[in-house]
Structure 1
Amino acid sequence: MRRTASFVGSMIAAAIIFSQPAAAGWRDDLKVLRVGFLAGENPSYAVTRLESFRWQLQSGLAVPVELFPARSYSALIEAEASGRIQYAILSSLAFVALDERCHCGEPIAQPVTDAGSRGFRAMIVAKEDGPIRTLADAKGARLAIGARDSLSGRIAPFAGLASEGIEPDEYFARIIETKDAKAALDTLAAGEADLAVAWSTAPDPMSRASGSGPLGNIPVDGAEPLPPLRLIWQSDLVPFGPHVVRTDLPPEARAAILQTLLSLQASAPEAYDAVEAGFSGGFVEADPLLYRRFAASLAAARLSDSLTFTDQP
């Protein structure tokens, strides 16, 4: 009995002895975690706004955390690719560009909507009482789209169509450019187009749920109601922008970051709102497959070389 107790005691002591240096080892190697984010034209204000988020990360890792404000996604991509930062808050487009640049970043977490959606679907819609009922019927029709740099209004639908073998400029008789999906829908309603792009985060893409996209936002905006619409086509899910860590980050640090993010909304809502105010559902672990599919559709449309890195739909 004593021998057994002694053996167990020795094993416990050994576990404590060997776990402490290992835990300290990766922290000593890392020294500081540098987190990059899009700060715009007022980096001082942006750093102050994210202080509660920085503190939560630092508390979760037990490693000093420094914020790296960047004026553009291009600067963030360069900083993470070069190793100047180990963590970046990116748009989905910016992550695709980073991955093409170095394959050195891994999406670790992403925000979701209150309904749990990880992204949005781009759509093409027509008037319900019109002659267009399928994508085949839409050939030779007039399509209203968003601006050239609009993720939901042009980039995502064009990429999705290209991945299905459809070249929009050749398939449609006319492409009518508007400023965004809302304006495209207005163009359809006015009879100046036969089809319009839209987007939705709702499980039912034609839902008028408030906040789910332009179909749900129109009553809130006080605009004229749209006519009944029919869904003609929808894309695969376009994921919201991820939080990305370098692939050479120690696995223990990665695990601590993920745990901190997954619990952030519940444990420190003010810190969550500081970093992801546009998404009310909290963080979930990122699904790399969603980003790979998105990258493949961009490649099919030959759009990956001209990305503008917009973050919201």
Structure 2
Amino acid sequence: MVRYMIRLCALLMAMSQAALSQPRTEEPFRIGMVVAASDVPEIEGVSGIREMFSRALGRSVEVIAARDHEALVAAHVAGRVDYAIYTALSYAAAARCGCVEPIATPMTSEGAIGVRSILMTRTERALERIAVGAPDSVAGRLAPLALWPDAFEARSAQRLVDFPSAQDAQEEFVAGAVDAIFGWVPVSSSGENLPGGTPDRLAAMSSAGTESRIEWESDVLRHGPHAVRADLSRDMRQKLVAMLVDGTDAELVYINRAYGGGFVAASRDDYQPAVKILESLEAE
């Protein structure tokens, strides 16, 4: 995913001006989402999705399956869909055109709207060996390298130790083979850190969890947003936000199956950390 997010940034610069200059067709309202298996003939719950959006907007609705996030971003930027369900990084790529805006962030059933990347250290130990996660780990690698103030120095001094998975990194931290580890903690809509994530996992693995502390934490890395075309009318945008924020879990299940909760309103500023991560990847 990381590689094609970078490719998209070059593609979008060429597409965005052409897309903005083309006339927009108002009917039907088109919703784009990624379907993981390319051989799935129909999106699960598609009739319920169409009915919910049509009721909220008073318009006919079409649901379009994209084969991957690269295809979804391209369709949204080109105006072939009006509404898209993104990951945080795929939204950051789409946002380069200036033609899409987030309107809502999905929540988990526990009320988390995202995570913070955190650096956990052992008490009274120098940071000579710091565990980082797999190449596509957002909280365990991509966010720290982009947002941690000491990332450049630690990388230059070769103090970062790569691990193929969070589990491997956690085991080495517990065993004392590394001095610190990048991980994550869930965050509520009020910005409060919630139970769970790396601290709880380390505590469950051994008493090392009680001997460690959070040395640094990032800004909130929100779950991937639901976003619309920037030229969508204010009235329709408000109707969509109300539908998402006020909807029940049963109504929203097919458009929030990844997280299982409700939604909170979102803005461009909420996804600046994701934009910074993508910029950091481009600079490598």
TM-score for both structures, normalised by structure 2:
0.80
The partner residue of 1:119 within 106, 114, 118 is 114
Written as runs of structure 1 = structure 2, the 5 A alignment for 1:211-222 is 212-217=196-201
Whether 1:73 aligns to 2:73 is no
Counterpart of 1:48 in structure 2 is: 44
Q: Give matches, 1:269-280, under 5 Å.
A: 269-280=249-260
Give the Cα separation in 1 of the matches to 2:35 and 2:283: 24
Structure 1 unmatched runs, 5+: 1-27, 133-137, 307-313
CA distance in 1, matches of 2:151, 2:250: 45
2:244 aligned with 1:261: yes
Aligned equivalent of 1:37: 33
Say whether residues 1:195 and 2:180 are aligned partners: yes
**Structure with bigger gyration radius:** 1
- 1:185 Cα offset (Å): 1.7
Structure 1 position 93 matched with structure 2 position 105: no
The alignment's TM-score, normalised by the length of structure 1, stands at 0.73
Q: 1:282 aligns with which of 258, 262, 282?
A: 262
1:294 is matched with which residue? 274
- Kindly tell me: are residues 82 and 273 of structure 1, through their superposed partners in 2, closer, same or farther at Cα, counting changes over 3 Å? same
Residue in structure 2 matched with residue 19 of structure 1 by the alignment: none
1:184/1:59 Cα in 2 relative to 1: closer, same or farther (>3 Å)? same
Selected match of 1:108 from 98, 103, 119 = 103
Task: Name the SS for the 1:233 alignment partner.
Answer: strand
Matches within 5 A, 1:83-232: 83-100=79-96, 102-114=97-109, 116-128=111-123, 130-132=124-126, 138=127, 141-161=128-148, 164=149, 166-167=151-152, 170-202=155-187, 205=193, 209=195, 212-217=196-201, 226-228=208-210, 229-232=212-215
**2: distance between equivalents of 1:187 and 1:46?**
44
RMSD: 2.6
Letter in 2 for 1:120: V
Amino acid at match of 2:91: F
Deviations 1:47-88 (A, max 9, x none): 133432232111111211111111211000000011110110
State the alpha-carbon separation in 2 of the partners of residues 149 and 254 from structure 1. Answer: 32
Greater share of strand residues, 1 or 2?
A: 2
Gaps of 5+ in 2: 1-23
| Larger CA deviation: 282-291 vs 168-177 | 168-177
**CA deviation string 1:207-265 (max 9, x = no partner):** 6x3xx32333568xx85564321111111111111000001112222122111111222
1:45 offset after TM fit, Å? 5.8
Is the contact between residue 134 and residue 163 of structure 2 (CA under 8 Å) also seen in structure 1?
yes
The residue aligned with 1:57 is: 53
